[in-house]
Amino acid sequence: RGEVGHHGGQLRRELERSAGWRRVRYAGRISPERVPDLLGRARVGVLPLQPIPNYRVAYPVKLFEYLAAGMPVVATDVPLWRDLLETHGCGVCVPPDSPRRLAEAMTSLLDDDARARSMGERGRRAAERHYSWGSQADKLIALYGELLA
């Protein structure tokens, strides 16, 4: 979604020199209201993040953006994320330090429209039923009630 920090420009220049850059459509920094449109045109959501300690107990927001957009997900194999993706059958996990396996997983979904579409549909249903604000409201209200009691 754009460059982050002051090293972002350097990273972008390095990526632009790589062989695969010709297949990239770099959107640059985009406003939050444009995110749904951009995700609506993408076919696979990718989370190639390093498995830092925080991810043992937290999900990246973009995981839920991908699910809500009906996209199959290819993610770094973090147990918390793997459980969610396997439970709902909406994505695949790859080892964190294997660009080859990441590329194979992405290609596999891009080459199999039916599989990708069904994973995306399961992800969208999971987002609506289990991970939307509406589905979490009662739990949050109950938690506030316990904390205030």
Q: What is the pLDDT of residues 36-55, one digit of tens each?
A: 888 888 999 999 998 899 88
- Locate tokens 């995306």: which residue? 120
pLDDT band at 5 (very low <50, low <70, confident <90, very high): very low
pLDDT of residue 1: 37
DSSP the chain: ----STTHHHHHHHHHTSGGGGG-----S--GGGHHHHHHH-S-EEE-----GGGGT---HHHHHHHHTT--EEEE--HHHHHHHHHHT-EEEE-TT-HHHHHHHHHHHHT-HHHHHHHHHHHHHHHHHHSSHHHHHHHHHHHHHHHH-
Q: What is the pLDDT of residues 64-122, one digit of tens each?
A: 999 999 999 999 999 999 999 999 999 999 999 899 999 999 999 999 999 999 999 99
- Read off the pTM: 0.77
Return d(Cα 20, Cα 60) in angstroms, integer: 25
